A and B are shown apart, each in its own frame.
Chain A
Amino acid sequence: MLRINNIEVVYNDVILVIKGLSLHVQGGQIVALLGSNGAGKSTTLKAVSGLLRPDNGEITDGDITFMGERIDRKDAADIVKSGLFQVMEGRRVFKDLTVEENLIAGGFTRKSSCHGANLERVYHYFPRLKERRRQISGYMSGGEQQMLAIGRALMANPKMVLMDEPSLGLSPLLVKEIFHIIRMLNEEEKTTILLVEQNANMALSACHYGYIMENGRVVLDGPGKQLKENDDVREFYLGMAGHKSFREVKHYRRRKRWLS
C-alpha cells in the first residue's frame, strides 16, 4: 500500500537525517517503526505526509508511492485527500476549539454532509468524547486529547493512518487503552496503520511487521513476534539483557554494529 523507496531527507540544506531508507507497508496491517531518539522516525512520517516543508526539510532522493501513486512531490492537502492521514506527535489538538470543532476540522477534506455520520462513528469508538463534545479541548486530560487526535483522523475516512507516538506521556493504563483502540481500528475499520513508537514492547505486540531504525536507516526488520524474540532487540529496546557485568565487552562490540 505504502512503499518508501530509498529516500534521503535533508534539513536546512545541510543536515542529512534520513540516509537511504526503504520500507513497505502492506494494506490492512499494523506496521511499527521503532528506534531511539533522533533516529529519524518522525522525519520519515513527515516525509510521507508532506509536512517537511514547514520544518525546512526536503526529500532529496528516492520516492514514496501510496496505492501505486507517487506522493513525494504532492501537497499535504492532496495527500490527505488521497486517504493518508497523520496523527502528529504530541497530540496537537486545537486547544481553543471544542471537541466537536476539532473533529470537524479533522474532516476538512470531506464534504460537510458526511460529518454527521463520521461524528457518530468517532463517538461510537470514543464515548468519552461524546460526553465532552462541547468542552474546550485544551482543558482535557492527555488521554482524552490523544483520543481526540485519533478521532480527528477518523473524520477524514483515511485508508491509512500514520501515528507518531500515540503513547507519549500517558499512564500505563491509558497506553493499554490507546493500543486497544489502535487494534480495533485496524480490525474493524480495516485501516492500515504505520506506528512510530518508543514503547517497543507494546508496539511489537500490536504490530504485524516491524522496522527498527538507527541513525536514519533501517537496521532490522521482520514480523513483530520475530523481532520480539531477537536477542539484540531484547537487549537494546526491551531492557531484558539479564544480569551482566561491565567487563563483558562482547555487548559493546555487538552494540557497535548497530550504531555504525
Chain B
Amino acid sequence: MNLFLQLLITGIVIGSIYALLALGFTLIYKATDVVNFAQGELLLVGAYICLHTTVSYNVPFLASFALTLVFTFLMGFFIEKIFLRRMIGEPVISIIMLTIGLSSVMRALVIIVWGTDTRTFPEVFSQVPVVVFGLSISRVYLYSIFAVAIFLGLFSLFFKKSKIGVAMRAVACDQQAALSMGIDVKRIFALSWAIAAVVSAVGGIFLGNINGINTSLSHFGLKVFPVVILGGLDSIVGAIVGGLLIGILENLAGGYLDPLVGGGAKELFPFVIMVLVLMIKPYGLFGTVKVEKV
C-alpha cells in the first residue's frame, strides 16, 4: 500500500508537469494548427535559464523564476514571429520539419552555452520531507504540485475572464470569424507560442529542482504525444487530465512491472497507451470528433 501511494504521488508530480507541457502543446495546436515538436526544448531552455540566473548571478530563486517567465515569454513570442509566421498556409509536413529543426537548434544552443553535464539547482526547497499520514513526501514535490495547480488556475481564469483570453479561444474556434471581429489573429498566434513557452519553462524549472538538469530533459517533449493523444489533441481539459493520467500510469507501471520485466516499463508504457488509444478511441478522451463529409 505504501509503495502504491508513493508511486501515486510521484506520478501526480510528474503528471502535473506533463499537463503543463501538454497545455502548451494544445494551445499552439488549437490556435495555429501547428504540431510543435520543440515543446521539450522550450522546457529545456527555460530550466537552464532559471538555473543560470540563480547560480551565476546569485539571483534569489523567486526572482529568477519570474525573470525566466518573462524571458521565455519573449522567446516564444519571437519564435512565432520570426519562424512560424512565414509558414502560414504552407503544407503541414513543412511546418513539422521546421519545428523539428527548431528543436535541434535549441538543444544544440543549450549544449554550446551550458555543456552536457548534469547540473543541479542550489538547495531551494528544504530536503526534509514532510510526513503526511505516515507517508514521507519530499517538499519539492509538494511545491511543484502546488505551483502547477496555481498556474493552471490562473490560466483557466485568464481564458474565461480576460478579453485577450476569450479572443484566443475565439481564434481557436473560428479564425475567419475572429478576424471579422477585428481580433488580431497574428498577435494571438504569437501569444499562444509565448504562453506555451512560459508553461513549459515552469515545468522545466520544477523538473530541474527534482532531478537536476541536463539535455535529456528535452525527452519530456516526446512524452507530450501520448498525453495529448490520450486527452484529445485539441482539448485543454484533455491535456491536463491526460497529463496526470499518463504520469500516474507510467509511475505505477515502473514500480510494479519493472521488477518483473527487468526495467524499461516506465519509458515504454506511455507509448503503449498511445497506440492503444489510437486504435480504440482515435480522438482521445475529450477531443473533437471530426466528421468529414464527402
Which A residues are within 8 Å of any B CB, using their own CB? Answer: 49, 51, 54, 76-77, 79-81, 85-86, 88, 92-97, 101-102, 104-109, 112, 115, 152, 156
The CA-CA distance from A106 to B178 in the complex, in Å, is 8
The CA-CA distance from A109 to B177 in the complex, in Å, is 14
Q: Is the CB of A77 within 8 A of B176?
A: no
- From 168 to 204 in chain B, residues with beta carbon under 8 angstroms from any chain A beta carbon are 169-170, 172-184
Q: Is the CB of A112 within 8 A of B177?
A: no
Q: Is the CB of B181 within 8 A of A80?
A: yes
A54-B176, A115-B163 known; 6 new pairs, CB 8 Å cut-off, are A80-B180, A85-B181, A88-B180, A92-B176, A94-B177, A108-B167
Asked if A97 meets B173 with Cβ closer than 8 Å, knowing A77-B183, A80-B182, A108-B183, the reply is yes
Q: Is the CB of A51 within 8 A of B180?
A: yes
Q: Is the CB of B180 within 8 A of A101?
A: no
> Measured between C-beta atoms, what is the minimum distance from B221 to chain A in Å?
27
B5 at the interface (CB under 8 A from A): no
With a cutoff of 8 Å between Cβ atoms, the chain A residues found around residue B170 in the complex are 94, 97, 101-102, 105
Q: Is the CB of A86 within 8 A of B180?
A: yes
Q: Is the CB of B179 within 8 A of A51?
A: yes
With a cutoff of 8 Å between Cβ atoms, the chain A residues found around residue B173 in the complex are 94-97
With a cutoff of 8 Å between Cβ atoms, the chain B residues found around residue A97 in the complex are 166, 169-170, 173
The CA-CA distance from A96 to B160 in the complex, in Å, is 12
With a cutoff of 8 Å between Cβ atoms, the chain A residues found around residue B167 in the complex are 105, 108
With a cutoff of 8 Å between Cβ atoms, the chain B residues found around residue A92 in the complex are 174, 176-177, 180
Q: Is the CB of B169 within 8 A of A88?
A: no
Size of the B side of the interface (Cβ < 8 Å), in residues, is 19
- CB < 8 Å: which of A54, A96, A102, A107 contacts B175? A54
With a cutoff of 8 Å between Cβ atoms, the chain A residues found around residue B180 in the complex are 49, 51, 76, 80, 85-86, 88, 92
Q: Is the CB of B166 within 8 A of A101?
A: yes
Asked if A156 meets B182 with Cβ closer than 8 Å, knowing A92-B176, A92-B177, the reply is yes
Q: Is the CB of A77 within 8 A of B177?
A: no
Q: Is the CB of B169 within 8 A of A108?
A: no
Q: Is the CB of A94 within 8 A of B169?
A: yes
Asked if A156 meets B181 with Cβ closer than 8 Å, knowing A94-B170, A96-B173, A105-B167, the reply is yes
The CA-CA distance from A196 to B160 in the complex, in Å, is 34
16 contacts between A and B (CB under 8 A): A54-B176, A77-B184, A79-B182, A80-B180, A81-B182, A85-B180, A88-B180, A92-B174, A94-B177, A95-B174, A96-B172, A97-B166, A101-B166, A109-B182, A112-B163, A156-B181
- From 90 to 134 in chain B, residues with beta carbon under 8 angstroms from any chain A beta carbon are none
- CB < 8 Å: which of A79, A93, A104 contacts B163? A104
With a cutoff of 8 Å between Cβ atoms, the chain A residues found around residue B183 in the complex are 77, 105, 108
> Measured between C-beta atoms, what is the minimum distance from A9 to chain B in Å?
16
Q: Is the CB of A104 within 8 A of B176?
A: no
> Measured between C-beta atoms, what is the minimum distance from B234 to chain A in Å?
10
With a cutoff of 8 Å between Cβ atoms, the chain B residues found around residue A107 in the complex are 163
- CB < 8 Å: which of A85, A93, A105 contacts B166? A105
Asked if A101 meets B169 with Cβ closer than 8 Å, knowing A51-B176, A112-B163, the reply is yes
- CB < 8 Å: which of A77, A96, A101 contacts B182? A77
The CA-CA distance from A106 to B177 in the complex, in Å, is 10
The CA-CA distance from A97 to B167 in the complex, in Å, is 10
> Measured between C-beta atoms, what is the minimum distance from A97 to chain B in Å?
6
- CB < 8 Å: which of A54, A95, A108 contacts B181? A108
> Measured between C-beta atoms, what is the minimum distance from A101 to chain B in Å?
5
With a cutoff of 8 Å between Cβ atoms, the chain A residues found around residue B178 in the complex are 94, 105
Closest to B177 in A: A92
With a cutoff of 8 Å between Cβ atoms, the chain B residues found around residue A96 in the complex are 169, 172-173
With a cutoff of 8 Å between Cβ atoms, the chain A residues found around residue B181 in the complex are 80, 85, 105-106, 108-109, 152, 156
The CA-CA distance from A108 to B183 in the complex, in Å, is 6
> Measured between C-beta atoms, what is the minimum distance from A50 to chain B in Å?
8
> Measured between C-beta atoms, what is the minimum distance from A11 to chain B in Å?
15
Most buried by A among B177, B179, B181, B184: B181
Asked if A54 meets B182 with Cβ closer than 8 Å, knowing A94-B169, A101-B169, A105-B167, the reply is no
The CA-CA distance from A80 to B177 in the complex, in Å, is 12
The CA-CA distance from A54 to B175 in the complex, in Å, is 9
With a cutoff of 8 Å between Cβ atoms, the chain A residues found around residue B182 in the complex are 76-77, 79-81, 85, 108-109, 156
The CA-CA distance from A96 to B286 in the complex, in Å, is 13
Most buried by A among B169, B177, B178: B177
Closest to B163 in A: A112
With a cutoff of 8 Å between Cβ atoms, the chain A residues found around residue B169 in the complex are 94, 96-97, 101
Closest to A115 in B: B163
